[in-house]
Structure 1
Amino acid sequence: MNIFGIGLPEMALIMILALLIFGPKKLPEIGRSLGKAIRGFQEASKEFETEFKKEAERIEKVVNEPMKATLEPPTQKALASTPTEANPSDEAVTNAEIVEEKTS
């Protein structure tokens, strides 16, 4: 029996020293609190492990998921009557011509 690299004779020596230092009345209380501490540590480590696995799975899912791209429909440009940047009054002339054509 080898726990943490400590054999049976070493364990017995540690138990005898603990009994001499703390006494027979305090030893069960110390054992209980030590057991609760170890149990709490185990629960915390399991919770950490599950959270770590969940996060790793989420990241793996995002990385392996194909990228989705959407294309915008092309905008239609007028070919005939577009005002030029050099002469902004072209727009007024074009609009006036359209109004004259519709009324006649």
Structure 2
Amino acid sequence: MVRNAFWRKWSRSRHFALQPGLSILRAPSSQMERTMADPFADDLAQRKPMQHAVGQDLSALSVDEIDERVSQLQAEIARLQDARKAKMASRDAASAFFKS
């Protein structure tokens, strides 16, 4: 009797629904649905992009981690320089168009 009362209370609190393709009842879970949609979701969630802050304490980083950050920052500098060149060219073209 206690087991049935517990089950009724628990099942109502979980809003059980029969999912298509499954023969069991389960509570909807966004994490479970993401995992079913993308089986590699956990791998992507564990690999967070490294964020570097200017003046950050580097004593806890290994030499390999520092080298990786240096290469990432160099790639970001190159990307920023390319974006700056494109914006400068656009601005120069606009100013030349409106001057003539």
Q: What TM-score do the two structures reach when normalised by structure 1?
A: 0.41
Q: Identify the structure with the greater helix proportion.
A: 1
* Bigger Rg over Cα: 1
Q: What TM-score do the two structures reach when normalised by structure 2?
A: 0.42
